[in-house]
Amino acid sequence: MFGFSTHEYDDEGFRTCNVTGLTIHRSAEDMVKLYGLTAIVALAIGGVFAFFVAMTRWELVSLLSPADFYTYLSMHAWNLLIFWMIFMEIAILYVGGAFVLGRRLSLPRLAKVGWVVMATGAVVVNAAIWTTEAPNQAPLLTSYVPLPSNWQFYAGAIVFILGAVVAALPFFATIWHERRENPNETLPLVTFGAFITGIVALESLVGGLITYVPTLLWRVGEFSTMDPAFYRQMYWIIGHGSQQINLLAMITVWYFLTHVLGGAEVASQKVSRTAFVLYLFFINLGAAHHLMSDPVVSTGWRMWNTSYAAYGAVLASMIHAFAIPAGLEAGRRAKGKGGGLFGWLWSSPWDDPGFSATIMSIILFGFLGGITGVMMGQMQLNMTWHNTLATVGHFHATVVTGTTLAFMGLAYYVLRLVFGRDWAMKPFAKIQPYLYAGAMSLLVLMMMYVGILFGVPRRHPSVMDIPGTEFSFAPAKPFFVVFGVAALLAILGGALFVLIAVASLLTGDRFDADSVGDVTRAAADGGDAKPIHEYSMRGTFTLCLVFLATFVVLWGLNWYLLSTVWQIGP
């Protein structure tokens, strides 16, 4: 497809990947290319709007008028949080399903129909946002009723969601056929993770239909009113659930890429699978943390869904946070590539952008996104974070320094292993993940800092001048200089990725597996006969202790900050 591929297939349409050893069928490979490239187009569009948004919030520049800001912010959010992510996630489902199982993609025509419907929905949503005029509101992501948005926006969102459901069906059909033909075999861990991702996605997408279909009917006049409480509760199923798909897809990619690029093994199949099952049951309930201050739902509902249930998902994250680096450490030690406490880490292929993007995704997601997510999910600490720029910092940490970096790492290998093209502009490809991750980390820290310590609000074009308030945010001004410079560097890093991807497709040399520096790192065959869990994982254990110490310090600090603002009495 697209004429970029260098691969040849046998009479039945299969080929063997000479790096991973996977048996890949053309039906799946073509769809991975189609969905992956569409995702990168959405990334480029969203990245362009990131420039306008960041340069407006940096008031030294003040690029956009207040009237335009929300429209540009909505374009930025929908293209990056939804279209870039979900097109990529469908590609990941096909990799985790058909690729890893060595099967044809079941119902391949449905995969094409799904792409057409998704792409149509994405175009309609973009057009609806761009042409928004009063009294309609640019919808951003929440688009809370009774504030109205274009009816075309709701229609576009419904079409996109339906398209995503249709696109997921070939993945489920592939798994169904695999289980029917091999009922006594256990699915590979990556396929298991992709399956859990698919079910969580299905819940989220159904929530989207429950939300947007009645809202569209209200907007076109079929319903006279739309209950805002019903909207809020149902909306967050997809509003937060769509981000949980990112989380699960990202973790599946972590297992896949650390295995393929770093020679990681799975330290314990049952522990990792149990963690995925915890996600399956509990992760989507975390959506309730958006309704912490909602007067309609009961305290019992809020506490159950955000505490007792959602902590099952937190436990799952802790397990993956140990299991993935532990698998990398044990796998590399088994191959004789790890001495001392961190020798396995230092000897890793850090000049490989797929590897470096993956490892930085793991570290930054954990330290910046994960810890803050758990804190924000707690009813008390949520009060100091809610609707400040710190919240935006949190989800940029999860979705950008976490998921986007992981997906960039995967895309580097899609270019090589699926398109058969080697990376163009190699010196730049090697530094791109570091530039992007470093700048985004600084950006995220500034957002959190000005949000938590100064209470700077989100969703507002200006910081120092907020009509209707007497607050002064002037002390936050110097931090916005750092914010602005970091944003420019991060956008440069993102643009560099798109440029490398396009240049690789158009001018990249044919990828030769022998050119991989260390072929055995891709074999990941388990090393010698010694069971993998018998290798030392003390380096990972040390890293986990550092992580937990950071968690405790930040937790205590946030409680201290809460205590300084919540004073009762004279």
Binding site for another protein (CB under 8 A): 175, 179, 183-184, 186-187, 192, 195, 199, 202-203, 227, 229-230, 233-234, 237, 270, 273-274, 277, 280-281, 284-285, 287-288, 296-298, 301, 304-305, 309
Residue (207 or 366) nearer to another protein, CB: 207
CA–CA separation, 423 and 504 (whole Å): 5
Complete DSSP assignment for 514-534: GGSS-THHHH----SSS-GGG
29 contacts 432 by C-beta, under 8 angstroms: no
Nearer to another protein, 313 or 500 (CB): 313
Residue 127 vs residues 136, 152, 157, 159, 198: alpha-carbon distances, Å: 14, 8, 12, 14, 28
Residues forming a β-bridge with 337: none
Q: Which residues of 170-196 are buried (b: 16+ CB within 10 A; e: fewer)?
A: bbbbbbeebeeeeeeeebbbbbbbbbb
Min dist CB 147 to another protein, Å, is 19
Q: Which residue has the tokens 């999860």?
A: 398
Alpha carbons 363 and 368: distance in angstroms, whole number: 8
Q: Tell me how crowded residue 67 is: count the other CB atoms within 10 A of its CB.
A: 9
Q: Look at residues 57, 41, 1, 29 and name the one whose alpha carbon lies nearest to residue 462.
A: 57
Q: How far is the CB of 42 from another protein (least distance, A)?
A: 28
> Judged by CB, which is closer to another protein: 275, or 362?
275
CB of 281 to another protein, least distance (A): 5
Q: Which is nearer to another protein, 189 or 390 (CB)?
A: 189
Rg over alpha carbons for the chain, rounded to the nearest Å, is: 23
**469 burial level (CB within 10 Å; 0-12, 13-18, 19+):** exposed
Nearest alpha carbon to residue 521 among 190, 259, 256, 189? 259
Q: Which is nearer to another protein, 71 or 197 (CB)?
A: 197
Q: How far is the CB of 101 from another protein (least distance, A)?
A: 13
d(Cα 232, Cα 83) in Å, to the nearest integer? 22
Nearer to another protein by Cβ, of 175 and 437: the residue is 175
Of 162 and 237, the one with the shorter C-beta distance to another protein is 237
**Minimum distance from residue 345 beta carbon to another protein (Å):** 30
CB of 193 to another protein, least distance (A): 11
Of residues 413, 407, 408, 370, the one with CA closest to residue 89: 407
Q: How many CB atoms lie within 10 A of CB 565?
A: 9
Of the two residues 198 and 508, which places its CB atom closer to another protein in the complex?
A: 198
CB of 55 or CB of 189, closer to another protein: 189
CB of 298 to another protein, least distance (A): 5
How far apart are CB 282 and another protein at their closest, in Å?
9
- Cα distance between residue 65 and residue 132, in whole Å: 15
Q: Between 18 and 269, name the residue whose CB sits nearer to another protein.
A: 269
Q: Shortest approach of another protein to residue 309 CB, angstroms?
A: 6
Please state the closest distance from residue 39 (CB atom) to another protein, in A: 25
